[in-house]
Amino acid sequence: MCVTGGSGFIGSHCIRRLLLEGYNVRTTVRSIDRERAIREMVTPKEIANAPVRLSFAIAYLDNDEGWNEAVRGCKYV
């Protein structure tokens, strides 16, 4: 599962819900520096393995770079 814009309000809520439902989630960010803040915001504490099911890919909406990696292996975006 790939969620675009994981640092945004809607994206972060989608990530949290998907992790609660048991999905592996990859989210796109513009800077990997946001990873820690996003993990703290969306990783449900009640699910021990949620942190390992969340990964990050750097991608920008204004160009194609990074999107192939972001969606690689994902069934849903």
Cα–Cα distances (Å) from 66 to 7, 59, 71, in that order, read 17, 5, 9
> Tell me, what's the pLDDT at 23?
92
Going by pLDDT thresholds of 50, 70 and 90, the confidence category of residue 7 is confident
Q: What does DSSP assign to residue 72?
A: T
Whether the CB-CB separation of 51 and 44 falls below 8 Å is answered with no
> Tell me, what's the pLDDT at 50?
80
Tens digits of residue pLDDT in 14-73:
999 999 898 999 999 988 888 888 888 887 777 778 888 999 999 988 889 999 999 999
Residue 1 has pLDDT above 90, yes or no: yes
Q: What is the model's pTM?
A: 0.85
Using the Cα atoms of residue 32, residue 33, residue 38 and residue 40 in order, give the sign of their dihedral. positive
C-alpha to C-alpha distance for 61 and 13, rounded to whole angstroms: 20
